[in-house]
Structure 1
Amino acid sequence: MGCSSCSTVKDGQPRGCKNNGTCGTDGCNKLTVFDWLSNMSLPSGEKPFDCVEVRFKNSRKEFFRNTENLSLSIGDIVATQAQAGHDVGMVTLVGELVRVQMKRKKVDFKDESLPKIYRKASQNDIDKWQKCRDREEEIKKRAREIAIILKLQMKISDVEFQGDGSKATFYYTAEERVDFRQLIKDMAKAFGIRIEMRQIGYRQEAQRLGGIGSCGRELCCSTWLTDFRSVSTSAARYQQLSLNPQKLAGQCGKLKCCLNYELDMYLEVLKDFPSQDTKLLTEKGVAFCQKTDIFKEKLWFSYKEDPSNWHVLTKDQVLEILEKNKKKEKVASLEEYTVDNFVKEEKVFENVVGQDSLTRFDRPKRSKSRKRNRNRSKSRNGNANSRSQNGQKSQNNQKNQGGQNNKKRRNPRKKRQKNG
């Protein structure tokens, strides 16, 4: 992985931002550690701590003893001791913070059997290590094909080569016990290296592979989370989340680790909060709790005979009613308290012009049927207008003809009157 400020080489691999794994975006390495004591010098006469933390592929970190007193800093690539041969890793922490990390992970720094650091990796070691890393994807694909041919119920999720290329560790997940003796023989023949199989859990698999969660950010287990705590469905109940496995489960198929982040705050608030099973005794009947709102400190109750009608009560009112019930006193009804809780909401903003509408600039699409109807109505109106115009012309013509006839008729009468 590379952060946005990293450049790339020819094959698309990130070159690195030269900040030794402590850049601000924290995207160069997984589970990086910030050395906040790096700018402080040791007191006079004090020797630096002789143990170093080294990170290998993904999340695997181990502690090694610096017996050669090498001047190491964060980001140096070193050759370390292995069971057979040597391994190559990157230094992630030096100095007194390594002692703190060893105490935290319960590793005895006085143990003489700790593996050693041989030397700083030479260019030959780095080239050989890089060639082995480039073969990992091809070998993982081939190993999956062999497992499918043998019909083994397992999933090979990742492969890690040793620095000298003499051994490869295959990480796999399986629901049941798997007999992979034949698989090891076939892979040893195909690859010509020593094989080690290591089973991991589904959360460890997600940690090694990484990904984007439903929140839109990188998985916590692959970026900063170092330990896995057990997560139960009670954490979702306390936070009043819907018990939907599709929403509560992460990419690993288990409950999300983030369900534990705010659990302590919810438990602290719920100490002074009435439980979900509280019953209120009133003269009108027994009321049961239907819903609670921890943030607004409100509870909704309904009578046993009328469960559809809910009444809102505050936390203090519920505690007051419970105190009266302990003294064997009944409240008249819940309506007395709900009237006090009614607050008229004042309108802060009124939509006069329609400026809060997001679709005010969108023109609705006119359907073809409306266009046809409009065209038909226009044609009908045009025909009607033409007809009316023709009718008016004909009427005018008739009137003109009638007027002329009348004139012709009137003229002889006038002549007769004159003659008479």
Structure 2
Amino acid sequence: MGCSSCSTGKDGQPRGCKNNGTCGTDGCNKLTVFDWLSNMALPNGQKPFDCVEVRFKNSRKEFFKNADDLPLSIGDVVATQSKSGHDVGMVTLTGELVKVQMKRKKVLDDKSLPKIYRKATQRDVDVWQKSRNKEEEIKKRAREIAISLKLQMKLSDVEFQGDGSKATFYYTAEDRVDFRQLIKDMARAFGIRIEMRQIGYRQEAQRLGGIGSCGRELCCSTWLTDFRSVSTASARYQQLALNPQKLAGQCGKLKCCLNYELDMYLEALKEFPPQDSKLMTKKGLAFCQKADIFKETLWFSYKDDPATWHALKKDQVLKILEKNKNNEKVSSLEEFAQDNIDDHNTVFENVVGQDSLTRFDRPKKRKNKKRRKNRPTAKTSSDAK
């Protein structure tokens, strides 16, 4: 994610707009939507959909009605209606896809939507940028006030309205917080209207962004729009170790990516025998210790010898269970495990033709570059005569 105005400078900081991927060029914005219907013309006589999607700071998006039929396109900065005054945002989607997004988010009544006043003038943009430049300083001062009042809450972000008359403070807290005195102190200190909005830990990570353990930007701050519940059962189905340090994301909750491949695992487990399967053999009762979905292999051990595991294929286990269902016992697990032993030894060859990685570790042999001189041969007795 990067554009010409947000490319990295010499000091490692973003060059140009210095907004860390939230500039107005729409080349690296969070939750950017690609309009795949933009090059398709509408049927004759059909008017374009008169609602647009506008993105504000970070990932906040809202729908607005284009009542004046302004010629808007993706990336335009517009002044929109708000409860008091006006706000400034950037158009992220126009046309028929807005109708699809509204239906997906269950916004069916487009008549009650707020409207777009105009395209933002230079004065609107200047006031908007001036207000955004004060956000970090005000956030720091607001945290100091909250600490002095000993409130159990964390102020994570501040968002100014486009006209600079109102600021929304986003916070996270475990329990209910009485912030009435906090609002009074902040309104007296900053001279603006204050709105407090509580968000969850996932929403906090979405607004702040960051780099995940995979090395890529957080899914919630780039493309993920809905937060589905993630339980430890998702990790159990995928046979992952229940380690909170590895399974938790930057928000402190279970990673959303645990749900990405869960459907594939559940589909594969339908054909697998249950994990608590017991095999009846003449040698004794056997329990399942481990299962590998990709190799379709299960490991069983006898009740009297739990340290020795025997690898059985999925079809073999189902065959044994079918016999046990008919009150038939197999002789032993070794009879089936013997067929799964692969005697082929894999030989790794250098098929690419590359040199060895340890070729520089070998001591070089010094070559004797001196040429040997031709020594005179000894004369025979016949030659001497």
SS in 2 for 1:281: strand
Give 1:41 shift: 1.6
The residue aligned with 2:84 is 84
In structure 1, how many angstroms separate the alpha carbons of the residues matched to 2:239 and 2:4?
38
Give 1:196 shift: 0.2
Cα RMSD of the aligned pairs, angstroms, is 2.3
Higher helix share: 1
Are positions 1:13 and 2:24 aligned together? no
> Structure 1 residues 363, 135: CA separation in 2 closer, same or farther (over 3 Å shift)?
farther
Alignment of 1:54-203 (within 5 A): 54-110=54-110, 112-203=111-202
Q: Is the 8 A contact 2:277 2:287 kept in 1?
A: yes
Q: Is the 8 A contact 2:80 2:116 kept in 1?
A: yes
The residue aligned with 1:218 is 217
Alignment of 1:323-334 (within 5 A): 323-334=322-333
> Structure 1 residues 325, 50: CA separation in 2 closer, same or farther (over 3 Å shift)?
same
* Cα deviation digits, residues 163-183 of structure 1 (max 9, x gap): 000000000000111111111
* Aligned-partner residue type, residue 97 of structure 2: L
> Structure 1 residues 309, 138: CA separation in 2 closer, same or farther (over 3 Å shift)?
same
Give 1:346 shift: 2.5
* Aligned-partner residue type, residue 58 of structure 1: N
Alignment of 1:20-419 (within 5 A): 20-21=25-26, 23=27, 28-110=28-110, 112-349=111-348, 358-359=357-358, 361-362=360-361
- Structure 2: which 5+ residue stretches go unaligned? 364-385
* Cα deviation digits, residues 286-326 of structure 1 (max 9, x gap): 00001111111111100000001111110010000000000
Give 1:14 shift: 5.8
* Cα deviation digits, residues 44-90 of structure 1 (max 9, x gap): 21111111110000111000111111000000000000000000000
More deviation, 47-56/6-15: 6-15
* Cα deviation digits, residues 328-358 of structure 1 (max 9, x gap): 001111111111111202332369xxx8875
SS in 1 for 2:286: strand
Q: How many residue pairs end up in the alignment?
A: 355
Larger radius of gyration: 1
Give 1:19 shift: 9.6
More deviation, 4-13/244-253: 4-13
* Aligned-partner residue type, residue 13 of structure 1: K
Q: Is the 8 A contact 2:6 2:19 kept in 1?
A: yes
Give 1:6 shift: 4.3
Give 1:40 shift: 1.4
Q: Is the 8 A contact 2:5 2:17 kept in 1?
A: no
The residue aligned with 2:369 is none
In structure 2, how many angstroms separate the alpha carbons of the residues matched to 1:229 and 1:242?
21
* Cα deviation digits, residues 193-224 of structure 1 (max 9, x gap): 00000000000000000000000000000000
Percent sequence identity over matched residues? Answer: 79
Q: Is the 8 A contact 1:99 1:109 kept in 2?
A: no
SS in 2 for 1:228: coil
In structure 2, how many angstroms separate the alpha carbons of the residues matched to 1:57 and 1:344?
62
Give 1:15 shift: 11
> Structure 1 residues 236, 218: CA separation in 2 closer, same or farther (over 3 Å shift)?
same
Q: Is the 8 A contact 1:51 1:109 kept in 2?
A: no
* Cα deviation digits, residues 203-248 of structure 1 (max 9, x gap): 0000000000000000000000000000000000000000000000
In structure 1, how many angstroms separate the alpha carbons of the residues matched to 2:19 and 2:132?
14
SS in 2 for 1:101: helix
In structure 2, how many angstroms separate the alpha carbons of the residues matched to 1:282 and 1:85?
79
TM-score, normalised by the number of residues in structure 2: 0.88
> Structure 1 residues 253, 18: CA separation in 2 closer, same or farther (over 3 Å shift)?
closer
SS in 2 for 1:13: coil
* Aligned-partner residue type, residue 287 of structure 1: A
* Aligned-partner residue type, residue 63 of structure 1: F
> Structure 1 residues 186, 202: CA separation in 2 closer, same or farther (over 3 Å shift)?
same
- Structure 1: which 5+ residue stretches go unaligned? 365-420
In structure 1, how many angstroms separate the alpha carbons of the residues matched to 2:19 and 2:155?
26
In structure 1, how many angstroms separate the alpha carbons of the residues matched to 2:138 and 2:58?
18
Q: Is the 8 A contact 2:5 2:16 kept in 1?
A: no
